[in-house]
Amino acid sequence: MKKVETGAARPETFPEQWPGQCEVFSHLEYACGIPSILYAVTTYKENGLGNVCCGAWASFPGDGGGFYALVPLPASTHTLANIRLTGEFCVNFLPVRHFDALMRTVRQNGMEDDEFTEGGFTPEPAHTVGAPRIAESFLTLECRAERIEALSDSGRMMLVKGRVLNAVSAPDHAQGVDKRYGPEGFVLNINEPRNLLAHHSDAPSALATLHVEREYQ
Protein backbone atom coordinates (compact mmCIF):
# COMPACT_ATOMS: atom_id res chain seq x y z
CA MET A 1 0.00 0.00 0.00
CA LYS A 2 1.34 3.41 -0.98
CA LYS A 3 2.19 5.61 2.00
CA VAL A 4 0.70 9.08 2.42
CA GLU A 5 3.23 11.90 2.11
CA THR A 6 2.77 15.48 3.31
CA GLY A 7 5.44 18.01 2.38
CA ALA A 8 6.80 21.12 4.07
CA ALA A 9 4.48 23.32 1.99
CA ARG A 10 0.81 23.05 2.98
CA PRO A 11 -1.15 21.38 0.14
CA GLU A 12 -4.20 23.20 -1.21
CA THR A 13 -6.23 20.14 -0.24
CA PHE A 14 -5.24 20.69 3.40
CA PRO A 15 -7.72 23.40 4.52
CA GLU A 16 -7.49 25.41 7.71
CA GLN A 17 -10.21 24.73 10.26
CA TRP A 18 -9.97 28.28 11.64
CA PRO A 19 -8.36 31.46 10.22
CA GLY A 20 -4.60 31.53 10.68
CA GLN A 21 -4.44 27.96 12.02
CA CYS A 22 -1.43 27.02 9.94
CA GLU A 23 0.36 30.23 10.84
CA VAL A 24 0.05 29.56 14.56
CA PHE A 25 0.84 25.83 14.13
CA SER A 26 2.53 24.00 11.27
CA HIS A 27 0.20 21.88 9.14
CA LEU A 28 2.66 19.04 9.70
CA GLU A 29 1.71 18.94 13.38
CA TYR A 30 -1.84 17.98 12.41
CA ALA A 31 -0.62 15.61 9.69
CA CYS A 32 1.71 13.72 12.03
CA GLY A 33 -0.52 13.62 15.10
CA ILE A 34 2.45 13.10 17.43
CA PRO A 35 1.30 13.16 21.07
CA SER A 36 3.21 15.41 23.44
CA ILE A 37 3.38 15.81 27.20
CA LEU A 38 0.99 18.36 28.71
CA TYR A 39 2.44 20.74 31.32
CA ALA A 40 2.02 24.18 32.85
CA VAL A 41 4.76 26.83 32.91
CA THR A 42 4.49 29.07 35.96
CA THR A 43 5.99 32.50 36.51
CA TYR A 44 5.18 35.76 38.26
CA LYS A 45 3.87 38.67 36.22
CA GLU A 46 5.54 42.04 36.52
CA ASN A 47 2.74 43.12 38.90
CA GLY A 48 3.43 40.13 41.18
CA LEU A 49 0.38 38.06 40.22
CA GLY A 50 0.75 34.39 39.39
CA ASN A 51 0.90 33.31 35.76
CA VAL A 52 0.05 29.80 34.51
CA CYS A 53 0.68 28.85 30.87
CA CYS A 54 -0.60 25.49 29.62
CA GLY A 55 1.51 23.92 26.88
CA ALA A 56 2.42 20.63 25.24
CA TRP A 57 5.31 21.13 22.85
CA ALA A 58 8.37 21.03 25.10
CA SER A 59 11.13 18.43 25.20
CA PHE A 60 13.42 17.49 28.05
CA PRO A 61 16.90 16.38 26.91
CA GLY A 62 20.05 16.20 28.95
CA ASP A 63 23.61 14.91 29.16
CA GLY A 64 26.51 15.12 31.58
CA GLY A 65 26.48 18.88 31.18
CA GLY A 66 22.95 19.34 32.49
CA PHE A 67 19.25 18.60 32.10
CA TYR A 68 17.15 21.06 30.09
CA ALA A 69 13.58 22.08 29.40
CA LEU A 70 13.23 23.27 25.79
CA VAL A 71 9.94 25.16 25.87
CA PRO A 72 8.33 26.84 22.84
CA LEU A 73 6.25 29.91 23.72
CA PRO A 74 4.29 32.30 21.49
CA ALA A 75 6.18 35.58 21.24
CA SER A 76 3.18 37.57 22.50
CA THR A 77 2.58 35.69 25.77
CA HIS A 78 2.86 37.10 29.27
CA THR A 79 4.88 34.01 30.15
CA LEU A 80 7.65 34.85 27.70
CA ALA A 81 7.73 38.45 28.93
CA ASN A 82 7.98 37.21 32.52
CA ILE A 83 10.85 34.86 31.67
CA ARG A 84 12.68 37.64 29.83
CA LEU A 85 12.28 39.82 32.93
CA THR A 86 13.33 37.32 35.62
CA GLY A 87 15.08 34.50 33.75
CA GLU A 88 13.21 31.97 35.88
CA PHE A 89 10.25 29.61 35.49
CA CYS A 90 8.83 26.27 36.62
CA VAL A 91 7.42 23.45 34.50
CA ASN A 92 4.62 21.59 36.31
CA PHE A 93 3.08 18.23 35.43
CA LEU A 94 -0.46 17.47 36.60
CA PRO A 95 -2.85 14.49 36.19
CA VAL A 96 -5.65 14.64 33.63
CA ARG A 97 -8.25 15.51 36.29
CA HIS A 98 -6.72 19.01 36.45
CA PHE A 99 -7.18 19.68 32.73
CA ASP A 100 -10.37 21.77 33.07
CA ALA A 101 -8.65 23.89 35.71
CA LEU A 102 -5.75 24.49 33.33
CA MET A 103 -8.20 25.56 30.63
CA ARG A 104 -9.64 28.16 33.00
CA THR A 105 -6.19 29.75 33.18
CA VAL A 106 -6.13 29.90 29.37
CA ARG A 107 -9.47 31.75 29.28
CA GLN A 108 -8.70 34.07 32.23
CA ASN A 109 -5.17 35.23 31.58
CA GLY A 110 -5.25 39.02 31.67
CA MET A 111 -2.59 41.08 33.43
CA GLU A 112 -4.94 41.62 36.38
CA ASP A 113 -5.85 37.93 36.70
CA ASP A 114 -4.11 35.78 39.29
CA GLU A 115 -4.10 32.60 37.24
CA PHE A 116 -3.43 30.37 40.25
CA THR A 117 -6.72 31.63 41.69
CA GLU A 118 -8.52 31.25 38.36
CA GLY A 119 -7.43 27.63 38.08
CA GLY A 120 -7.92 26.84 41.77
CA PHE A 121 -4.23 25.96 42.13
CA THR A 122 -2.10 26.40 45.22
CA PRO A 123 1.14 28.35 44.71
CA GLU A 124 4.19 27.25 46.63
CA PRO A 125 7.73 28.66 46.64
CA ALA A 126 10.43 26.96 44.61
CA HIS A 127 13.77 26.09 46.23
CA THR A 128 16.15 27.37 43.56
CA VAL A 129 14.25 30.02 41.55
CA GLY A 130 11.85 32.88 42.27
CA ALA A 131 9.02 31.46 40.15
CA PRO A 132 6.09 29.75 41.90
CA ARG A 133 5.34 26.04 41.75
CA ILE A 134 1.89 24.44 41.54
CA ALA A 135 1.46 22.45 44.77
CA GLU A 136 -0.93 20.02 43.07
CA SER A 137 1.75 18.96 40.55
CA PHE A 138 3.27 15.50 40.93
CA LEU A 139 6.49 16.73 39.28
CA THR A 140 7.89 20.23 38.95
CA LEU A 141 11.09 21.34 37.22
CA GLU A 142 12.64 24.55 38.51
CA CYS A 143 14.41 26.24 35.61
CA ARG A 144 16.71 29.14 34.79
CA ALA A 145 16.56 30.40 31.21
CA GLU A 146 19.90 30.23 29.41
CA ARG A 147 18.80 31.14 25.89
CA ILE A 148 15.72 32.52 24.11
CA GLU A 149 15.63 32.42 20.33
CA ALA A 150 13.13 32.35 17.49
CA LEU A 151 11.91 28.89 16.54
CA SER A 152 11.62 29.94 12.86
CA ASP A 153 11.91 33.00 10.66
CA SER A 154 8.22 33.79 11.22
CA GLY A 155 9.02 35.04 14.72
CA ARG A 156 5.69 33.78 16.05
CA MET A 157 7.18 31.20 18.37
CA MET A 158 10.21 31.54 20.62
CA LEU A 159 12.19 28.65 22.07
CA VAL A 160 13.28 28.98 25.69
CA LYS A 161 16.19 26.81 26.79
CA GLY A 162 15.94 26.40 30.54
CA ARG A 163 18.51 24.62 32.70
CA VAL A 164 16.76 22.46 35.27
CA LEU A 165 18.14 23.35 38.69
CA ASN A 166 15.81 21.21 40.78
CA ALA A 167 13.22 18.47 40.22
CA VAL A 168 10.51 18.10 42.86
CA SER A 169 8.42 14.91 42.95
CA ALA A 170 5.43 13.84 45.04
CA PRO A 171 6.44 10.79 47.14
CA ASP A 172 3.90 8.44 45.53
CA HIS A 173 5.15 9.50 42.07
CA ALA A 174 8.81 8.80 42.83
CA GLN A 175 9.09 5.02 42.76
CA GLY A 176 10.12 3.93 39.26
CA VAL A 177 7.30 2.53 37.12
CA ASP A 178 4.61 4.01 39.30
CA LYS A 179 1.74 6.51 39.29
CA ARG A 180 3.57 8.72 36.77
CA TYR A 181 2.61 6.23 34.05
CA GLY A 182 -1.15 5.86 34.49
CA PRO A 183 -4.31 7.95 35.01
CA GLU A 184 -2.68 9.90 37.85
CA GLY A 185 0.46 10.64 35.86
CA PHE A 186 1.65 12.28 32.67
CA VAL A 187 -0.97 13.48 30.19
CA LEU A 188 -0.42 13.36 26.42
CA ASN A 189 -2.02 16.02 24.25
CA ILE A 190 -3.16 15.00 20.74
CA ASN A 191 -3.75 18.14 18.68
CA GLU A 192 -6.52 17.66 16.08
CA PRO A 193 -5.03 14.73 14.12
CA ARG A 194 -5.83 15.17 10.45
CA ASN A 195 -7.47 12.57 8.21
CA LEU A 196 -4.80 12.49 5.49
CA LEU A 197 -6.90 10.38 3.13
CA ALA A 198 -9.95 12.64 3.20
CA HIS A 199 -7.89 15.87 3.63
CA HIS A 200 -9.92 17.21 6.53
CA SER A 201 -9.97 17.12 10.31
CA ASP A 202 -12.55 14.61 11.45
CA ALA A 203 -11.19 14.21 14.98
CA PRO A 204 -11.12 16.70 17.85
CA SER A 205 -8.12 17.21 20.04
CA ALA A 206 -7.77 14.53 22.68
CA LEU A 207 -5.99 13.65 25.90
CA ALA A 208 -4.34 10.33 26.67
CA THR A 209 -2.64 8.73 29.65
CA LEU A 210 0.02 6.06 29.66
CA HIS A 211 -0.21 2.33 30.21
CA VAL A 212 2.97 0.36 30.90
CA GLU A 213 3.14 -2.52 28.44
CA ARG A 214 6.33 -4.15 29.71
CA GLU A 215 9.52 -3.51 31.62
CA TYR A 216 12.99 -4.11 30.19
CA GLN A 217 16.69 -3.66 30.94
pLDDT at 36: 96
pLDDT at 201: 58
Dist CA 136 CA 91 (whole Å): 12
74 C-beta neighbours (distance < 10 Å), count: 14
Q: What is the pLDDT along the chain (217 residues), one digit of tens a residue?
A: 889 888 888 877 777 777 877 877 888 888 888 999 999 999 999 999 999 999 999 999 999 999 999 999 999 999 999 999 999 999 999 999 999 999 999 998 788 899 999 999 999 999 999 999 999 999 999 999 999 999 999 989 999 999 999 999 999 999 888 899 999 999 999 988 888 887 665 678 899 999 999 989 8
The Cα 41–Cα 159 span in angstroms is 13
| Residue 135 falls in which region: left (phi positive, over 0), alpha (psi -120 to 50) or beta | alpha
At residue 19, the pLDDT reads: 81
Sign of the Cα torsion 50, 55, 57, 58 reads positive
Task: Give DSSP secondary structure letters for 42-94.
Answer: EEE-TTS-EEEEEE---B--EETTEEEEEEEEETT-HHHHHHHHHSEEEEEE-
CA torsion angle 159 160 162 167 (round to 10): -80
Question: 161: part of which helix (H) or strand (E)?
Answer: strand 157-169
Please report the pLDDT score of residue 209 as a whole number. 96
> What was the pLDDT predicted at 207?
97
Q: Is 212 helix (H, G, I), strand (E, B) or coil?
A: coil
What's the residue count for the chain?
217
Q: How many CB atoms lie within 10 A of CB 27?
A: 19
- Kindly give the pairing relationship between strand 50-55 and strand 62-63: unpaired
pLDDT at 111 (0 to 100): 87
Dihedral angle of Cα 170, 171, 174, 177, to the nearest 10 degrees: -110
* Closest listed residue to residue 89, CA positions, set 161, 17, 185: 161
pTM reported for the whole predicted model:
0.92
Cα 143 to Cα 167: distance, rounded to the nearest angstrom = 9
